[in-house]
Structure 1
Amino acid sequence: NDVEEIKGLEKCPSLSHLSLAHNKLFAIGGLENLPIKILNLSFNQLEKATGLESLKSLQKLDLSFNKITSLQGLEGHELLETINLESNQISELHELQWMEDLPLLRVLNLLKNPLQEQADYWLWTVFTLLRVTDLDLQKVSVEEKVAAVNKYAPPAEVVAAEDHRTHLVCHMLQPQRILNSTLPGFDASYPMLVLVGPVACGRRELTHRICRQFNNFFRYGPCHTTRAAYFGEENRLDFYFISEEAFEQMVKSGKFIATYKYSGHRYGLGRDTVESIAREGLATCVHLEIEGLRSLKCTHFKPRCILAIPRDKGKYEEHLRRTGLFSRPEIEEAVSRVDMYLQVNQDFPGYFDAVLNTDDLDEAFTELNLLMRMYLGM
Structure 2
Amino acid sequence: MAGGEENGTEGSPGEPLPPPDEPPQPRPGPPHREDEQEEEGEEEEPERSEAHLEGVLDEDTAAEGLHTFGRSAPGTEYVYLHLSLPGRGLSDISILSGYIHLQKMELSSNKINDLSCVSHMPYLVELDASKNQLTTYFDFKAPKNLKSFNQIEKVDGLKSLKSLQRVDLSNNKIKSLQGLEEHDLLEMINLENNQVAEVSELKWIKDLPLLRDVNLLKNPLQEKEGYWLSAIFMLLQVTELDLKKVSVEEKVAAVNAKDPPPEVVAAEDHRTHLLCNARQPQGLLDSTLPGFDEPYPMLVLLGPVAGGRRQLSLKICRQFKNFFRFGPCHTTRTAYFGEENRFDYYFISQEEFDKMVEAGKFLATYKYSGHSYGLGRDTVESIAREGLATCVHLEIEGVRSLKNTYFKPRYVLLVPKDKWKYGEHLRRTGLFSRAEIREAVARVDTYLQINQDFPGYFHAVIYTDELEQAFTELTHLVKVYLGLEPPDSLDIQGTNSGAGSRNQLFPEEKSSPGQGTPRRSRTPSSGDILEPSAQTYPRELLEMLTAPPGSVEEASLQRRFSAARQRILFHSSREFGRLRGRFSVPPGAAPARAEQVVWTKFPIPRRHLPGKARAAGKGVDTSKEAGENLLRKSSKAKLGSSPVLPRIPPGQTNTNP
Is the pair's TM-score, using the shorter chain for normalization, greater than 0.5?
yes
Alpha-carbon deviation of 1:5?
A: 3.7
The range that moved more, 251-260 or 183-192, is: 183-192
Name the SS for the 2:445 alignment partner: helix
* Residue 297 of structure 2, aligned match among 179, 191, 207: 191
* Residue 34 of structure 1, aligned match among 133, 141, 150: 141
Once residues 385 and 114 of structure 2 are traced to their aligned partners in structure 1, the CA distance between those partners, rounded to angstroms, is: 83
Q: Deviations over 1:64-99 (max 9, x none)?
A: 111111111111111110000111111101000010
* Residue 218 of structure 2, aligned match among 76, 101, 112: 112
Q: Which amino acid aligns with 1:305?
A: Y
* Superposition map of 1:340-355 within 5 A: 340-355=446-461
Check if 1:255 corresponds to 2:361: yes
Check if 1:20 corresponds to 2:129: yes
Does the aligned pair in 1 maintain the 2:181–2:205 contact within 8 Å?
yes
Once residues 256 and 211 of structure 1 are traced to their aligned partners in structure 2, the CA distance between those partners, rounded to angstroms, is: 22
* Superposition map of 1:281-320 within 5 A: 281-320=387-426
2:346 aligned residue: 240
* Residue 74 of structure 1, aligned match among 175, 180, 183: 180
* Residue 271 of structure 1, aligned match among 356, 377, 380: 377
Alpha-carbon deviation of 1:50?
A: 1.9
Structure possessing the higher radius of gyration over alpha carbons: 2
Q: Deviations over 1:106-152 (max 9, x none)?
A: 00011111111112211111111111011111111111111112222
* Residue 46 of structure 1, aligned match among 122, 127, 152: 152
Once residues 425 and 224 of structure 2 are traced to their aligned partners in structure 1, the CA distance between those partners, rounded to angstroms, is: 47
Once residues 3 and 178 of structure 1 are traced to their aligned partners in structure 2, the CA distance between those partners, rounded to angstroms, is: 82
Alpha-carbon deviation of 1:4?
A: 3.2
1:367 aligned residue: 473
Alpha-carbon deviation of 1:247?
A: 0.8
Once residues 60 and 294 of structure 1 are traced to their aligned partners in structure 2, the CA distance between those partners, rounded to angstroms, is: 44
Q: Which amino acid aligns with 1:176?
A: Q
Once residues 218 and 301 of structure 1 are traced to their aligned partners in structure 2, the CA distance between those partners, rounded to angstroms, is: 16
Name the SS for the 1:305 alignment partner: strand
Does the aligned pair in 2 maintain the 1:14–1:35 contact within 8 Å?
no
Once residues 254 and 190 of structure 1 are traced to their aligned partners in structure 2, the CA distance between those partners, rounded to angstroms, is: 20
* Residue 334 of structure 1, aligned match among 431, 440, 443: 440
Could you list the structure 1 runs, at least 4 aligned residues long, displaced by more than 6 angstroms after superposition.
none
Once residues 467 and 118 of structure 2 are traced to their aligned partners in structure 1, the CA distance between those partners, rounded to angstroms, is: 74
The root-mean-square deviation of aligned C-alpha atoms, in Å, is: 1.2
Q: Which amino acid aligns with 1:98?
A: W
* TM-score, normalised with respect to structure 2: 0.56
1:206 aligned residue: 312
Name the SS for the 2:127 alignment partner: strand
Alpha-carbon deviation of 1:6?
A: 3.0
Once residues 94 and 5 of structure 1 are traced to their aligned partners in structure 2, the CA distance between those partners, rounded to angstroms, is: 32
Once residues 233 and 303 of structure 1 are traced to their aligned partners in structure 2, the CA distance between those partners, rounded to angstroms, is: 26
2:272 aligned residue: 166
Alpha-carbon deviation of 1:49?
A: 2.0
Check if 1:6 corresponds to 2:120: no
Once residues 18 and 217 of structure 1 are traced to their aligned partners in structure 2, the CA distance between those partners, rounded to angstroms, is: 80
Q: Which amino acid aligns with 2:300?
A: V
Once residues 59 and 13 of structure 1 are traced to their aligned partners in structure 2, the CA distance between those partners, rounded to angstroms, is: 16
Does the aligned pair in 2 maintain the 1:194–1:303 contact within 8 Å?
yes
Does the aligned pair in 2 maintain the 1:14–1:34 contact within 8 Å?
no
Name the SS for the 1:199 alignment partner: coil
Alpha-carbon deviation of 1:12?
A: 2.1
Does the aligned pair in 1 maintain the 2:116–2:140 contact within 8 Å?
no
Count, aligned residues? 375
Once residues 268 and 5 of structure 1 are traced to their aligned partners in structure 2, the CA distance between those partners, rounded to angstroms, is: 65
Check if 1:155 corresponds to 2:264: no
1:124 aligned residue: 230
Does the aligned pair in 1 maintain the 2:118–2:140 contact within 8 Å?
no
Q: Which amino acid aligns with 1:104?
A: L
* Superposition map of 1:53-68 within 5 A: 53-68=159-174
Check if 1:100 corresponds to 2:209: no
Once residues 252 and 280 of structure 2 are traced to their aligned partners in structure 1, the CA distance between those partners, rounded to angstroms, is: 33
Alpha-carbon deviation of 1:11?
A: 2.3
Once residues 9 and 203 of structure 1 are traced to their aligned partners in structure 2, the CA distance between those partners, rounded to angstroms, is: 68
Q: Which amino acid aligns with 1:41?
A: S
Once residues 228 and 380 of structure 2 are traced to their aligned partners in structure 1, the CA distance between those partners, rounded to angstroms, is: 43
Once residues 49 and 281 of structure 1 are traced to their aligned partners in structure 2, the CA distance between those partners, rounded to angstroms, is: 71
Alpha-carbon deviation of 1:2?
A: 2.1
Percentage identity across aligned positions? 67
Q: Which amino acid aligns with 1:20?
A: A
Q: Deviations over 1:232-276 (max 9, x none)?
A: 000000000111111111111111100111111110001111111
Alpha-carbon deviation of 1:23?
A: 1.7
Check if 1:179 corresponds to 2:285: yes
Once residues 349 and 11 of structure 1 are traced to their aligned partners in structure 2, the CA distance between those partners, rounded to angstroms, is: 62
Once residues 183 and 24 of structure 1 are traced to their aligned partners in structure 2, the CA distance between those partners, rounded to angstroms, is: 81
2:604 aligned residue: none
Q: Which amino acid aligns with 2:219?
A: N
Check if 1:358 corresponds to 2:467: no
Alpha-carbon deviation of 1:35?
A: 4.4
Once residues 119 and 476 of structure 2 are traced to their aligned partners in structure 1, the CA distance between those partners, rounded to angstroms, is: 80
Check if 1:145 corresponds to 2:251: yes
Higher RCO, 1 vs 2 (CA within 8 Å, ≥6 residues apart): 1
